[in-house]
Every structure is written in C-alpha cells, then in structure tokens.
A and B are shown apart, each in its own frame.
Chain A
Amino acid sequence: MNRMQGLAIVALCWLALPAPPAQAQSFDSVVGKVESRLGIRRMRMPGMGFLVNTVMFTKRPAGASSMKMAIFDEESGLRGVGSDEFQRAVRAELGSDWKPMLQVRSRRDGEAVTAYVRIANSTCEMLIATSEREEGTIIQMKLDGRKMMAWLADNTGLSHGKKIDIQ
C-alpha cells in the first residue's frame, strides 16, 4: 500500500464517520421558518402554553413530556397553502437530525400526519406535523421508547385494521 492509498483510506474512514451533530434547532426556529416559507402565522392563543404545560405536568399523556405546539388555521393563511405543501415545508425546514418515522396520508379526508424522531443518547424527541385542507399543527414532545411504539401502533391503523393472511 503506497502513501496515496493510505491517505485515501484515511479520507474514506473519515467520511464514513457519522457527522457531528449540528446545533439542534429549537421548536420556535422550525415553526418560524415554516411560517416564513409559506407566508402563514401560527394562532396566538394567550395562556395556551401555560395550559399545555399544566396538562403535561399533571397528566403526562402517553408518557410524553416537554410538549410544544403550534396551530395554524384558516385565519393563519393556511387555506391557500394546502395539506401537502404544509408537510413539504415542515420537512424542508427540519434539520437532518430529524428522521421521518411514519407518514400517513388520507386523500379521502385530506389529512396527513408525519412523525419525525430525533434520538440522542437516551432521549427521543418526536415532532408530529398534522395537516388538513385548512388546518395544520406542529407538535414536539419527548417520549420514551415504549410510548413511541404505542403511538406508532395507534396511528398506523395497520395494527388493528389491516391483516395479511398467509394461510
């Protein structure tokens, strides 16, 4: 092995290493970029943050914590945007550390749900973008693995609806 080959191997090994984690985007940063991209504004609901945090603190629904939420409705300007475009914008503005885990789309109802996960050490964050023709939400929360799988089973519809018969 000559020196050039050695250097090439070192370079390839370096490329094969996982990229260092980029500065994690904050929820508000992601939502703000989606707003700018689509020309929409999230609903401003005084006390909403307090309400969500209170529910999260007392009930911890589905093992979730640290929930953040942004809601867009007709008045937010979403009517002219559409469900698909909303989903595309969220995906485009999320960093590469967010990986899509589940996408469900119902053309019949005009609804779409995409769940992204970001796993670092022993914590998992999930960001869920839901959209209809005139409404959209972006929710971010921390979940444990068990609840993440339960949520997945509940939302695929496959676990209780679809059956594959191989008999």
Chain B
Amino acid sequence: MMFRSVLLMLSAAGLLSAQQIKFPAAFERLAEKASETVNVTLDPQTLSFATKFLSDKKEEAEVKRIAQKLKGIYVRGFEFEKEGEYTDKDLSDIRSQLKGPEWSVIVSTRSKREISEIYLHRDGGLLILSAEPKELTIVNIMGNIDPSDLTNLSGQFGIPKVQGTPGKGARKDGKDEEE
C-alpha cells in the first residue's frame, strides 16, 4: 500500500510540472497553415525567476502578488491568412479535455464570428480559449489564480490583453457571483 502511495506521489510530482492540457497533435498541422504562430512556455522555474525581479511598487506589486502563486503559463496562438483554416474538430480536441469534475466553464460567449471561453480547474489554474475566423488562441495559466486577476496579468508574460473579466470569486457553475 505504502509502495503504491509513493509511486502515486512521484507520478503526481511529475505531472505538476506539465501544462494542464495537452495541445493536440493536430496543432502542428495548424502551425503549418498559420501565417503567424506564437508559442510561449513559462515553466515554474522561469516564472519564479522573472517574478523575483518585479518591484513592490503599486502596479507591479499586484502583478507580483498574482504571479507568485502561479506555476506556469502556456500560450499557443495562430493567425491565418484566410478563414476556415481551423475546424470545429480542432476546438473539440481541446474542449474534450476540459470536462468535469476537474474543469468547469465560467465564461462562454459566442457571437457569429467569435467564441471566447474560460475554464477553471478545481485544483487551481484556468484556460482561455479564443477563436475568431482568422485567429485561434489558447492560454493555460497554472496555479492559484482568481479569474478577476486576469485584468492585471493581461499583456504580461505573453498573455494577450483580455477585455472584460469575470468578477472576483466567480463561481464554478458558469455564473458570476452576485455583488
């Protein structure tokens, strides 16, 4: 029994250092088709190193406070010359990994030409999926993060700017808490 426990602990330790989702192999094909691709990998060591240098002055202090609780930031971005280069299958390959009980969707906005979704992981961390006709962006932020912290992190650490953020203490059932 103890032997199994140790094995489980060791394998869990290994998993902690990886991103929370696996980018589908089909993304390599997307990268070939994309006119621009961006791939950011900030593992715990790099993130921790960068955070140490942030000052305690007003705005930076807030970023530092948030970043100190993070364990990794992973961004994949694709920009295409024309529409229709990625398919619903590409999105469903990501969404199929974002299921309960580990993941819960807290934001899901859809318009005719744009999809934005934010998922929260029960053990900490979130994932942003943004799909426009010619752009596809996936951001996985690992660690203890409140969705409202996205405002302060947007534009930092390779994270795209995020407009509109779910309120502090957003519930995991897909609705924001009432103020």
Contacts and interface: CB of A to CB of B under 8 A. Distances in A.
Instruction: Report if A and B associate in a common complex.
Output: yes
Interface of A: 1, 5, 8-9, 12-13, 16, 99-108, 117, 119, 124, 144-146, 148-149, 152-153, 156-160, 162-167
Nearest to B161: A163
Contacts of B50: 145-146, 148-149
A167 B114 CA distance: 12
Which A-B residue pairs are the 10 nearest by beta carbons? A167-B164, A145-B53, A145-B50, A146-B53, A103-B39, A159-B155, A162-B160, A158-B160, A164-B130, A166-B116
Interface in B92-128: 107, 109, 114, 116, 118, 128
Q: Which of B40, B137, B164 has the most CB of A within 10 A?
A: B40
A31 B174 CA distance: 52
A99 B163 contact: no
Contacts of B56: none
In the complex, which range does the number of interface residues on chain B fall in?
35 or more
Contacts of A103: 37-39
Contacts of B42: 101
A162 B137 CA distance: 9
A117 B46 contact: yes
Interface in B68-107: 75, 77, 81, 107
Interface in B34-60: 34-43, 45-46, 49-54
Contacts of A107: 34-36
Given A102-B40, A105-B34, 19 more contacts: A1-B2, A12-B6, A101-B46, A105-B36, A119-B45, A119-B49, A146-B53, A149-B53, A149-B157, A152-B157, A152-B158, A153-B155, A153-B157, A156-B38, A156-B40, A164-B160, A166-B118, A166-B164, A167-B163
A117 B49 CA distance: 11
26 contacts: A1-B3, A99-B46, A100-B39, A101-B42, A102-B38, A103-B39, A104-B36, A105-B31, A107-B35, A144-B53, A145-B53, A145-B54, A146-B54, A148-B49, A156-B75, A157-B36, A159-B159, A159-B161, A162-B137, A162-B161, A165-B116, A165-B164, A166-B107, A166-B116, A166-B128, A167-B109
B147 to A, nearest CB: 9
Contacts of B10: 12-13, 16
B156 A149 contact: yes
A160 B161 CA distance: 7
Contacts of A158: 38, 40, 75, 77, 137, 155, 158-161
Contact of A153 (B37, B43, B81, B158): B158
